[in-house]
């Protein structure tokens, strides 16, 4: 939920909880000395000024923030209520505190005198605790989302700038390795071979980082629409056939008779299946097999990528979709990997309303299952 919705729910919930005529949620400013009304419920509260009020000028808020609910039975004779909104005789004010840190106050108002008692104060305080926790959690999520967005933007710019010098360096080194600039000693060839492999890794890292940032980028949403699933899976299998044959692996596609349409983009679906099939081929030793199955099940589209490869240790499974994570048995192989492929796959699958699951046993193989809602024509 957005912060505004959370605050408005809190104001409404508070009004119901103590049967108040009106309620207001006030939040402390960053300086911790001023309160600003963030949400109200009940028409009369509209009269309340919305500019920040100094806590030092508001005895009721001061009491509530100090951990003591403040009950005013009749504002006309209670000097603490001098700044309270006009027509309300009864006022109840409790603090919004999370983990010992005050974040604001919750006010309940009623027109009649003596409407709130200690029991109401306890009710409102319990709701305020829950409210403070929710507000704090929502603020934390918003802060993380903002950070994630700036991280994505930084990655997009930085990797974009890195890509062309890497490509240039790579083609120059390939020229040297290919003997186009003259003969090399065995030792020189070995060093240049290693530089070339490092550049290959850098290139895949830059491409994966760009894909990851793109997968999370909201700008892409406009290009999304109903997309053919079978075609994307077929393309990915075809793409890896030569590599599988070269490695001595069997690669098989078990297609689906139904034409399955899912939400997404061709590019996005290609990324999902090329990543999964590339992993299956990469992590399956010679003599093994990779089977890709497309089916419709319970009205949903399902793609399975199964291999008879090295498998994934049980301890690694919960981390598999984290950015940069690579399982120890994969790292031990002489295969290039960035640990970003599955993070890209998961972000895209979820973006298109689907989910991804994995089952695996070390030494026996892995099974990745992607399920999408079917888009009806
Ligand atoms: P990488 O670039 O390392 O392949 P991924 O994000 O694609 O990164 O995968 C993360 C990790 O998940 C891999 O490093 C590997 O440990 C494990 N993994 C993924 N697919 C398979 C598979 N088919 N078989 C075994 N391990 C796999």
pLDDT in tens, 39-97: 999 865 455 557 888 999 999 999 999 999 999 999 988 888 877 776 889 999 999 99
Same domain flag for 180 and 324: no
Same domain flag for 41 and 74: yes
- Boundary (domain end) residue, out of 219, 243, 267: 219
Sheet of 300-307, strand order: 250-254, 289-297, 300-307, 365-373, 355-361
- Of 124-138, 220-234, 235-249, 254-268, the range with the lowest mean pLDDT is 220-234
Look at residue 258 and give its three-state secondary structure. Answer: coil
Which CATH number do you get for residue 187? 3.30.450.40
Burial of 74: CB neighbours in 10 Å, binned 0-12, 13-18, 19+? middle
Mean pLDDT (whole number) for 220-243: 90
Same domain flag for 229 and 308: yes
Q: How many domains does the chain have?
A: 2
Same domain flag for 163 and 269: no
Matching residue, tokens 């939920």:
1
Q: What is the pLDDT of residues 105-146, one digit of tens each?
A: 999 999 999 999 999 999 999 999 999 999 999 999 999 988
What's the pLDDT band for 204 if we cut at 50, 70, 90? confident
Same domain flag for 274 and 165: no
- Boundary (domain end) residue, out of 219, 234, 259: 219
Which CATH number do you get for residue 309? 3.30.565.10
Mean pLDDT (whole number) for 223-245: 94
Ligand 1, CB cutoff 6 Å, lining residues = 275, 279-280, 283, 307, 309-312, 320, 325-327, 330, 337-343, 366
Same domain flag for 232 and 188: no
Same domain flag for 193 and 289: no
Q: Which residues neighbour 346 within 8 Å (Cβ) at sequence distance 6 or greater?
A: 321, 356
- Boundary (domain end) residue, out of 190, 219, 248: 219
Tokens at residue 94, please? 């409790």
What's the pLDDT band for 152 if we cut at 50, 70, 90? confident
What is the full DSSP assignment across 246-257?
HHT-EEEEE--S
Q: Which residues neighbour 5 within 8 Å (Cβ) at sequence distance 6 or greater?
A: none
Probe residue for ligand 1, chosen from 201, 320, 344, 359 as the CB with the greatest number of ligand atoms within 8 Å: 320
Same domain flag for 145 and 213: yes
Residues 42, 20 contacting (CB under 8 angstroms): yes
Q: Which is the closest atom of ligand 1 to the Cα of 284?
A: 24
Question: How many angstroms separate the alpha carbon of residue 157 from the centre of ligand 1?
Answer: 26
Question: How many angstroms separate the alpha carbon of residue 178 from the centre of ligand 1?
Answer: 31
Which residue's CA is the nearest one to ligand 1's atom 16?
Answer: 327
Same domain flag for 93 and 207: yes
Domain of residue 356 covers 225-373
Q: CB count, 10 Å around CB of 273?
A: 24
Same domain flag for 215 and 239: no
What is the C-alpha to C-alpha distance for residues 153 and 148, in angstroms, rounded to an integer?
A: 9
Residues 22, 40 contacting (CB under 8 angstroms): yes
């Amino acid at each position: 939920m957005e912060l505004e919705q959370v605050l408005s729910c809190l104001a409404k919930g508070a009004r119901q909880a103590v049967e108040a005529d009106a309620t207001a949620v006030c939040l402390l400013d960053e300086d911790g000395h001023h309160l600003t009304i963030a949400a109200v419920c009940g028409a009369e509260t509209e009269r309340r000024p919305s500019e920040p009020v100094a806590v030092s000028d508001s005895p009721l808020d001061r009491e509530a923030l100090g951990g003591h609910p403040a009950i005013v039975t009749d504002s006309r004779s209670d000097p603490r209520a001098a700044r309270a909104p006009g027509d309300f005789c009864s006022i109840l004010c409790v603090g919004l505190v999370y983990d010992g840190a005050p974040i604001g106050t919750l006010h309940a108002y009623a027109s009649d005198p003596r409407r709130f008692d200690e029991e109401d104060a306890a009710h409102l305080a319990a709701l305020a605790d829950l409210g403070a926790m929710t507000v704090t959690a929502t603020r934390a999520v918003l802060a993380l989302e903002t950070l994630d967005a700036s991280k994505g933007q930084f990655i997009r710019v930085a990797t974009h700038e890195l890509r062309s010098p890497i490509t240039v360096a790579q083609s120059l080194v390939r020229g040297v390795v290919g003997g186009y600039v003259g003969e090399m000693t065995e030792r020189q060839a070995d060093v240049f071979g290693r530089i070339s492999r490092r550049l290959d890794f850098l290139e895949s890292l830059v491409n994966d980082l760009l894909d990851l940032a793109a997968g999370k980028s909201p700008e892409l949403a406009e290009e999304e629409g109903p997309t053919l699933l079978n075609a994307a899976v077929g393309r990915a299998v075809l793409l890896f056939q030569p590599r599988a044959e070269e490695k001595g692996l069997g690669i098989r596609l078990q297609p689906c008779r139904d034409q399955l349409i899912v939400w997404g983009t061709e590019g996005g679906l290609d990324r999902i299946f090329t990543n999964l099939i590339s992993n299956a081929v990469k992590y399956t030793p010679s003599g093994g097999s990779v089977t890709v199955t497309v089916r419709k099940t319970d009205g949903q589209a399902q793609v399975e990528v199964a291999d008879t490869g090295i498998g994934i240790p049980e301890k690694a499974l919960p981390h598999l979709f984290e950015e940069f994570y690579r399982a120890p048995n994969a790292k031990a192989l002489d295969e290039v990997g960035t640990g970003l492929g599955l993070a890209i796959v998961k972000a895209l699958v979820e973006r298109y309303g689907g989910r991804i699951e994995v089952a695996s046993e070390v030494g026996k193989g892995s099974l990745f299952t992607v399920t999408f809602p079917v888009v009806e024509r």
